[in-house]
Structure formats: C-alpha cells, structure tokens
C-alpha cells in the first residue's frame, strides 16, 4: 500500500455554477465595457490635442501680455528706489544699500556730495569689498583695485567701477539705475 492510498479523500464543494470545460465563466459583477469605435477614439484624440494646443497658446498669450519683473539678464527690475538718507552717511566711509539684486556702495564725499557705486567689479562681475586700511575697493577674484570714489587704480578691470544714476530728493538718495552695467 502506498502512502497516497492511506490518505482519506476530501472534496471541496463549490457553490459556483458548473462551467463546461474550455469556457470561461461570465463575469456578472463587472461587465466588460463596450470597445471604443475607431472614429470615436480619433475624435477623442483630436479633441485632447486641440485642448492642449489651446492651453499652451493661451499661456503664451498671457505671458506676452504680462510685463516681466526681470530683465533679460535675470536681474530684478527696480526703477526708482530710495536707498538711504544723505545725512545718515559718514563722510569718507562707504555704506552698503540694496537696489534690487544689486548691492550699492554709498560714499559721501562732503556735506552735499555723494557717489553711488555698484559692488559688481567691471572685470568679470565679482563682488568688490572695501578695504578700510587702504581706503579702497578690492576685487577678491583678480586683484583689481579702485579708489574710494570708484576710479580704477590697478588690476585687469577694463574701467572704473559702475556708477549708479541717482538724485537727492529731500535728503533721500533715489537710485534709478546702474550706468553701464548689463
């Protein structure tokens, strides 16, 4: 007697209806959707493509109508901006001020005279630093040197420091742009 013959036979009773061999039972819970006709699919596809084209066209038109807040080089457009009070500046010592994405040096020459310079070096665009010991601006990248009032003293920079276009209105220094800086 084999080991299989000693095992009692068990049967599993199924409540599912009998299905003839080789056939699949019909699904009654979720009937299969009717296949989409070719013409219906093409109409749906064309509508989706046209909707996307209209969306992109509309976005482009809106973008063209709204003025950008940045210039071509990525700098924030600022326009006229008061950056400091003339009376608050010490004579002969630069004070920094923000003008959009730029940092400016405000240098008071005398009681009524001020110079406004960009911190950006005209050589490659590094950020200049004021050296209090020598009373000049130094470029940490390529060793250009500038006087307290922006005049080129030495180094590879091709010109003087960039000056800002400004006016003094009621004691306020109002900057409207940086001359020569892209």
CATH number at residue 130: 2.102.10.10
**DSSP letters along the chain, please?**
--TGGGSPP------SPP--TT-PPPPSSSPPPPPPPHHHHHHHHHHHHHHHHHHHHHHHHHHHHSPPSB-TTSPBP--SEEEEEGGGSPBTS-EEEEETTEEEEEEE-SSS-EEEEESB-TTT-PBPEEETTTTEEE-TTT--EE-TTS-EEESS-SSSPPBEEEEEETTEEEEEEESS--
Tally of domains within the chain: 1
Please say if the pLDDT value at position 71 is more than 70: no
pLDDT for position 134: 92
Range of the domain at 106: 81-178
Q: Is the pTM of this model over 0.85?
A: no
Residue 63 falls within a domain, yes or no? no
pLDDT of residue 48: 95
Among 24-33, 99-108, 119-128, 139-148, name the one with the lowest average pLDDT.
24-33
Residue 94 falls within a domain, yes or no? Answer: yes
Can you give the pLDDT at residue 151? 92
Query: How would residue 179 be classed by pLDDT, with cut points 50, 70 and 90?
Result: confident
pLDDT recorded at residue 52? 95
Instruction: Indicate whether 172 pLDDT > 70.
Output: yes
| 47 occurs within a structural domain | no
Is 60 exceeded by the pLDDT of residue 89?
yes
């Amino acid at each position: 007697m084999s080991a299989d013959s000693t095992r009692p036979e068990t049967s599993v009773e199924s409540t599912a209806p009998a299905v003839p061999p080789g056939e699949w039972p019909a699904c009654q819970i979720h009937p299969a959707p009717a296949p989409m006709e070719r013409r219906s699919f093409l109409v749906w596809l064309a509508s989706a493509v046209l909707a996307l084209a209209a969306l992109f066209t509309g976005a482009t038109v809106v973008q063209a109508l709204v003025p950008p807040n940045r210039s071509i080089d990525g700098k924030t457009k600022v326009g006229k901006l008061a950056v400091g009070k003339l009376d608050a500046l010490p004579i002969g010592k630069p004070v920094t001020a923000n003008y959009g994405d730029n940092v400016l040096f405000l240098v008071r020459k005398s009681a009524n005279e001020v110079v406004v310079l960009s911190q950006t070096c005209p050589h490659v665009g590094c950020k200049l630093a004021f050296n209090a010991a020598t009373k000049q601006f130094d470029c940490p990248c390529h060793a250009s040197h500038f006087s307290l009032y922006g005049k080129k003293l030495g180094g590879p920079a091709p010109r003087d420091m960039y000056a800002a276009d400004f006016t003094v209105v009621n004691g306020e220094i109002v900057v409207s742009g940086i001359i020569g800086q892209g």
